[in-house]
């Protein structure tokens, strides 16, 4: 791209792709949940309900309208910041999600902070001592971290630390309004479990990228000038190895949110996971659709910020150039 207007055109394209992706997500989300078997009106009134009463409720809920008209109404509400009303709870979807979203988002945020803080030292250590015992041990731990399901590890942790050692009370969450610090403390252990798979993936990626950079000419030059391996790695290699690692961190955001939803079920936390599962079973489509749109938007925005950071670290990089 040329110097004049190139970056602006690049970011305009990125914004356009962001909006287009969100648009397609709304279509897929809406259509997918409309074709799932089951009638919300029938579920609300019961299988023995009068057919006329069921039809009346379907009309009140708008399910007797054509699919395209229902989608248009839903999109119009979304553009106004209205996610609709829950069929089951008879209250706004926004208030339902916001009351539980802080738990899930806090778990994901703690995990997203912990993962790179642990992965960078381990990855650098494995690269520095490649094909030696520190590298072998870290690689073995990585394989275990990527293979063990989070929900199974959560059950083992609860059994070990609450039943055996009795270090914390299982299935207990202190509300934010009572004590924010105790609320965060009750989320740290689930967050650490959620952080294990992305930490393992990041460690493996950091090791690979740093090994590739360590073979570069500038590393040989730095070492020939008397610089230590660690000084070269921290001062020079780390910056160049950051670019692919940042991409992986952005892509892991969806995994962190999904892992948070699963793990909070194991720990009995009042996050969006329980709301999502109950809403799917009850065919509470406004809640499910609203949650999918929120999570998708969050993941897309995180990846957009990753692009910003990617360009900040290396202004020469332009996707599609």
Does residue 196 have a pLDDT over 60?
yes
**How far, rounded to the nearest angstrom, does the alpha carbon of residue 176 sit from its chain's CA centroid?**
22
What is the pLDDT at residue 321?
A: 46
Percent of the chain with pLDDT over 70: 85
Question: Which DSSP category does 37 fall into?
Answer: S
Does residue 170 have a pLDDT over 80?
no
For 109-137, the pLDDT digits (tens) are 888 889 888 988 898 888 888 888 888 99
If pLDDT is split at 50, 70 and 90, which confidence band does 318 have?
low
3-state secondary structure of 92: strand
Average pLDDT over residues 42-46: 67
Higher pLDDT, 164 or 200: 200
Helices marked H in the chain:
6-34, 40-45, 51-61, 67-79, 93-128, 133-147, 150-158, 180-214, 217-224, 229-232, 238-266, 272-282, 285-313
Does residue 5 have a pLDDT over 60?
no
For 201-234, the pLDDT digits (tens) are 889 888 888 887 777 777 777 777 776 767 777 7
Average pLDDT, the chain: 79
If pLDDT is split at 50, 70 and 90, which confidence band does 161 have?
confident
User: How would you class 135 by CB atoms within 10 Å of its CB: exposed for 0-12, middle for 13-18, buried for 19 or more?
Assistant: middle
Does residue 2 have a pLDDT over 50?
no
- Say if residues 219 and 228 touch (Cβ distance below 8 Å): no
3-state secondary structure of 85: strand
108 contact partners, CB below 8 Å, separation of at least 6? 191, 194, 253, 256, 257, 259, 260
What is the pLDDT at residue 258?
A: 78
Average pLDDT over residues 96-108: 85
- Say if residues 64 and 55 touch (Cβ distance below 8 Å): yes
What are the tokens at 78? 């979304």
Average pLDDT over residues 234-248: 73
Cα angle 108, 182, 114 (rounded to 5 degrees) comes to: 30
Average pLDDT over residues 164-169: 68
C-alpha to C-alpha distance for 158 and 212, rounded to whole angstroms: 40
Does residue 4 have a pLDDT over 60?
no
Higher pLDDT, 59 or 113: 113
Percent of the chain with pLDDT over 90: 2
């Amino acid at each position: 791209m040329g110097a004049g207007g190139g970056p602006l055109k690049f970011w305009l394209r990125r914004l356009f792709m962001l909006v287009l992706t969100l648009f397609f997500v709304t279509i897929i989300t809406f259509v997918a949940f409309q074709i799932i078997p089951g009638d919300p009106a029938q579920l609300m009134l019961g299988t023995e309900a009068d057919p006329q009463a069921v039809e009346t409720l379907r009309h009140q809920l708008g399910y007797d309208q054509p699919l395209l008209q229902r989608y248009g109404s839903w999109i119009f509400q979304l553009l106004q910041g209205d996610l609709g009303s829950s069929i089951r709870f008879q209250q706004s979807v926004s208030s339902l999600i916001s009351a539980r979203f802080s738990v899930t988002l806090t778990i994901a945020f703690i995990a997203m902070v912990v993962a790179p803080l642990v992965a960078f030292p381990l990855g650098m250590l494995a690269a520095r001592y490649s094909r030696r015992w520190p590298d072998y041990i870290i690689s073995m731990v990585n394989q275990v971290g990527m293979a063990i399901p989070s929900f199974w590890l959560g059950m083992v942790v609860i059994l070990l630390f609450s039943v055996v050692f009795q270090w914390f009370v299982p299935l207990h969450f202190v509300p934010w309004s009572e004590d924010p610090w105790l609320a965060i403390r009750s989320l740290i252990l689930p967050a650490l479990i959620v952080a294990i798979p992305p930490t393992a993936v990041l460690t493996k990626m950091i090791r690979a990228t740093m090994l590739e950079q360590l073979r570069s000419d500038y590393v040989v030059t730095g070492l020939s000038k008397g610089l230590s391996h660690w000084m070269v790695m921290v001062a020079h290699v780390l910056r160049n190895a950051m670019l692919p690692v940042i991409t992986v961190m952005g892509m892991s955001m969806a995994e962190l949110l999904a892992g948070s939803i699963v793990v909070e079920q194991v720990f009995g936390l009042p996050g969006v996971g329980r709301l999502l599962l109950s809403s799917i079973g009850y065919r509470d489509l406004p809640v499910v659709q609203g949650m999918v749109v929120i999570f998708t938007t969050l993941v897309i925005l995180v990846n957009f910020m990753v692009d910003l950071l990617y360009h900040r670290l290396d202004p020469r990089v332009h996707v599609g150039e």
